[in-house]
Amino acid sequence: MDAALRRILYIYALENAAKHGSVPRAKAVMGKVLGTHPELRPHAKELPAALEEVLAEVATMAPEAWKAKLAELAPEVVDEMDAGKKKETKKELPPLEEAEDGVVMRFAPNPSGPLHLGHARAAFLNDAYVKRYGGRYVLRIEDTDPRRVDPDAYRMVQEDIEWMGLGVTDIVYQSDRMDIYYDLCRKLIEIGGAYVCTCDAGRFRELKLAKKACPCRAHTVEENLELWEQMLSGGFAEGQVTVRVKTDLEHPDPAIRDFSIFRIVDSPAHPRIEAKVYPLMNFSVVVDDHLLGITHVIRGKDHIANTRRQRYIFDYFGWKPPVYRHYGRMSIEGLVLSTSSMHQGIDEGTYTGWDDVHLGTLRAIARRGIQPEAVRRAMVDLGTGDTDISFSWENLYAQNKAVIDETSDRFFFVPNPVRYEVEGAPEQRARVPLYPGDEKRGVRELAFTSAVVLPAAEVEGAGMVRLKDLFNIELKGEGQAAYAGDDLAAAREAKAPIIQWLPAEYGIPCTLRTPEGDIAGVCEPEVTEHVGGTVQFERVGFARIDRVEDGRVVAFFAHR
């Protein structure tokens, strides 16, 4: 191989390995090489073989040696990497207006199910600002629509809050505050800011779109108060009456024209209180934001219309509204986030529960070994800008790897194992650190006798392979192999893949659960000591050890 070409390939392979903590795939390195050095494109046919040789050498090096070797070959690349890391650590959220004297902020979920990644953005952004400026963080459970309340969700939301590690200082249940809402609705009627409407919903909609007042708008205060008392005393059924705020009938947004703030819900019954008359969100939110002293509200821009509605109520009462900041929508691909869809899927048996790996709940990603600190970093990285964005799984996985890498012991997992008898091999014992480059942490010992199990997908059609941390073997077919020496250089020369393995009688059954399906295999028995924690299955990825069931390890795949 040309020395100059080898140097280029070596630098990019080492850079990728040092950045991501694992031997890169050829495709990733090739793309970077050809993108940066277009003059090499005429030699594209020669590059794959040369790159495979370089990657084989990188694979034999200890991970801590990658950056050192890169610094030797291209110190400027290491400087750029370090500068990038420093820049990342300095990334901060933009300052809040009027926050110099501290803040009072809130996270306000509905108890319709457990929290998911969409909730996590608001939760962590508000938490970050409270930590930055000091003050109070209110968890407000918005449970004034009994049709959207799952009794189990009260517990699940609390568990999710604890998992996230939010600095909550106050917990408020809106269902405990009904008398407050009733009293202030009565006051709003008394000052002429609201009226009780008994119009048919379809007829009211026609009038609203035509920018015309409904007949109920002309009620006197006394008439409205009498109707309000009838609502509270059970004089109306669901759908017969609502309380509306007087707004601008000429407003360009029809949704803001005389919007509803109270209605009757006959069923289902609320799990915490006995009530039929419930405030809608735009009323209860204003009341609580004022009475709880909320200074700043950070939420999605899908609430901009709600902010406009709420300002009418603030103005009627003469209250100062909080400082609002609306961030852009966040799309999350690949997982189910709709609470109703999740409920249905669980009821129908499509999902095993709220922590099914196909769901976007926090308990589902936690079961995969994703740490709350990784979610926090990923959400803060998104910031509070109003541009719509796509959630980056790659960033979440990178953040999680940074959190768990040093605490995750390394083990071999052999998917779909195939047994090979190895002829002519000396009995040897592979000594492999639990963590690369740190033998003080502990060493795994794998004793080879005469047979091994190998990953079926990686030995299909292979000739020579190198058993990681052991020796070379030549696969003969039909479960037979022959010892091919200890020489690593010979394995590189033969472009032999370096694969994980286990002594044939040593591994225990292991099921690795992924969103794409279960992978059956065997793993090292010591994995059973890590139930509830994360490990790295070498050459496979990080996983959380969920349980040991009937002698079988059940692990959930996190990411590579």
Task: Tell me the three-class secondary structure of 56-82, residue by residue.
Answer: HHHHHCCHHHHHHHHHHHCHHHHHHHH
**What top-level class would CATH report for the domain 409-455+500-560?**
mainly beta
Number of C-beta neighbours around residue 115 at 10 A: 23
CA distance 130 to 137: 7
Map residue 511 onto helix, strand or coil. strand
Q: Identify the pLDDT of residue 85.
A: 58
**CA pair distance 59, 57, nearest whole angstrom:** 5
pTM: 0.83
Question: Of the candidates 171, 184, 197, which has an alpha carbon nearest to the alpha carbon of residue 279?
Answer: 184
Instruction: Please check whether residue 240 is in contact with residue 211, taking contact to mean a CB–CB distance below 8 angstroms.
Output: no
**How confident is the model at residue 335, as a pLDDT?**
82
- Listed in sequence order, the residues at least 6 apart from 39 whose beta carbon sits closer than 8 Å to its beta carbon are none
User: 313-317, long-range: CB within 8 Å, 24+ apart, which pairs?
Assistant: 313/188, 313/193, 313/245, 313/261, 313/282, 313/283, 313/286, 314/286, 314/290, 316/188, 316/191, 316/193, 316/245, 317/184, 317/187, 317/188, 317/286, 317/290
> What kind and span of H or E run contains 389?
strand 389-390
Which CATH fold topology does 339-407 show? Glutamyl-tRNA Synthetase; domain 2 (1.10.1160)
CATH of 96-323, one of 3.50.50.60, 3.30.450.20, 3.40.50.620, 3.40.50.2300: 3.40.50.620
Evaluate the omega torsion of the peptide bond into residue 503 and state whether it is cis, within 30 degrees of 0: no
Contact between residue 297 and residue 105 where contact means Cβ atoms under 8 Å apart: yes
Domain coordinates of the chain in residue numbers?
3-89, 96-323, 339-407, 409-455+500-560
Question: Residue 493 in contact with residue 536, Cβ under 8 Å?
Answer: no
Sign of CA dihedral 21, 26, 30, 31: negative
d(CA 437, CA 65): 9
Burial of residue 39 (CB within 10 Å: 0-12, 13-18, 19+) is: exposed
Do the bridges between strand 472-477 and strand 480-483 make them parallel or antiparallel, or are there none, so unpaired?
antiparallel
Burial class of residue 87 (count of CB atoms within 10 Å of its CB; 0-12, 13-18, 19+):
exposed
415: nearest Cα among 501, 308, 527:
501
Sheet holding 135-141, edge to edge: 103-107, 135-141, 170-173
What is the pLDDT at residue 451?
96
φ, ψ (nearest 5 deg) of residue 197: -115, 125
The segments of the chain whose pLDDT lies below 70 read 1-3, 83-91
Collapse the DSSP code of 271 into the 3-class scheme (helix H, G, I; strand E, B; otherwise coil) and give the result.
coil
Contact (CB, 8 A) for 403 and 371: yes
The confidence score (pLDDT) of residue 42 equals: 76
Complete edge-to-edge strand list for the sheet that includes strand 480-483: 498-499, 464-467, 472-477, 480-483, 417-423, 451-455, 502-503
Find, among 491, 480, 554, 482, the residue nearest to 523 by Cα: 554
Quote the pLDDT of residue 2: 65
Q: Are 533 and 404 in contact (CB under 8 A)?
A: no
Exposed, middle or buried, 98 (CB in 10 Å: 0-12/13-18/19+)? exposed
The residues pairing with 347 across neighbouring beta strands, listed in sequence order, are none
CA distance 373 to 45: 44
